[in-house]
């Protein structure tokens, strides 16, 4: 299976409609530059933002933009990294789960609107499942799978080996699929805003 093949317009339309049925707003943009502009338009001044480690967010320019400080947001990640006391840093990490916005990507997404997200530590999962009021996922359209079985196979056979190799290349012992989230839908009674921005470019693994 070619895990780098971009989704057709027909598949994108089907997936966007499925996500909307599942309580998730979704849209398609042509380029990573457009994706970054969408992100900027969705986050108001003064909002607190947090993000997980994401190659996709790096590729669209969000990480560099955040690091530049040329934005009106409260960058919780910067505060965590600036804290040198390990115990205090751990507290800040836990407190960050109530960020106004959480940004990231997914490892696979099905045509019927289910998102697959794996984690080694689980640090990003509280944001995604409950605590952050707004979620923004940026997703390269090559990550769309026909069904959940194919999405899980994509994660295990394609994404994980690449992420494991990446972690080893930067001096860590590798990665693990320690925790796995299948995000089927967002219950409207939660009052949260969940968005997916599909990009017609290969982004992330």
The predicted-structure confidence for 133-148, as pLDDT tens digits, reads as follows 999 999 999 999 999 9
Q: What percent of the chain has pLDDT over 90?
A: 89
pLDDT at 171: 83
Q: Report the pLDDT averaged over residues 65-75.
A: 96
Interior angle at CA 30, CA 24 and CA 36, nearest 5:
70
Q: Residue 113 — pLDDT band, cuts 50, 70, 90?
A: very high
Where in the chain are the domains?
9-199
Question: For residues 201, 166, 97 and 90, what is the CA-based torsion angle, rounded to 10 degrees?
Answer: -160
CATH class of 9-199: alpha beta
For the chain, where are the alpha helices, taking DSSP H only?
Answer: 9-21, 32-42, 55-59, 62-68, 76-82, 86-95, 125-126, 148-154, 160-169
The predicted-structure confidence for 122-134, as pLDDT tens digits, reads as follows 999 999 999 999 9
């Amino acid at each position: 299976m070619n895990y780098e093949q971009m989704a057709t317009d027909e598949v994108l339309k089907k997936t966007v409609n499925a996500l909307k049925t599942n309580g998730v707003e979704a849209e398609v943009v042509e380029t990573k530059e457009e994706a970054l502009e969408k992100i900027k338009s969705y986050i108001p001044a003064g909002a607190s933002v947090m993000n997980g480690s994401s190659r996709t967010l790096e590729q669209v320019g969000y990480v560099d933009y955040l690091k530049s400080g040329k934005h009106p947001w409260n960058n919780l990640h910067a505060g965590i990294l600036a804290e040198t006391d390990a115990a205090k840093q751990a507290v800040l990490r836990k407190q960050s789960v109530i960020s106004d916005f959480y940004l990231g990507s997914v490892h696979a997404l099905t045509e019927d609107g289910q998102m697959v997200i794996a984690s080694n530590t689980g640090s990003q999962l509280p944001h995604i499942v409950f605590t952050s009021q707004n979620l923004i996922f940026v997703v390269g359209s090559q990550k769309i799978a026909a069904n959940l079985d194919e999405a899980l196979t994509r994660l295990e056979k394609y994404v994980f080996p690449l992420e494991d190799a990446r972690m080893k290349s930067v001096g860590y012992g590798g990665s693990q699929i320690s925790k796995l989230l299948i995000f089927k839908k967002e219950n409207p009674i939660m009052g949260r805003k969940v968005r997916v921005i599909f990009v017609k470019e290969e982004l992330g693994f």
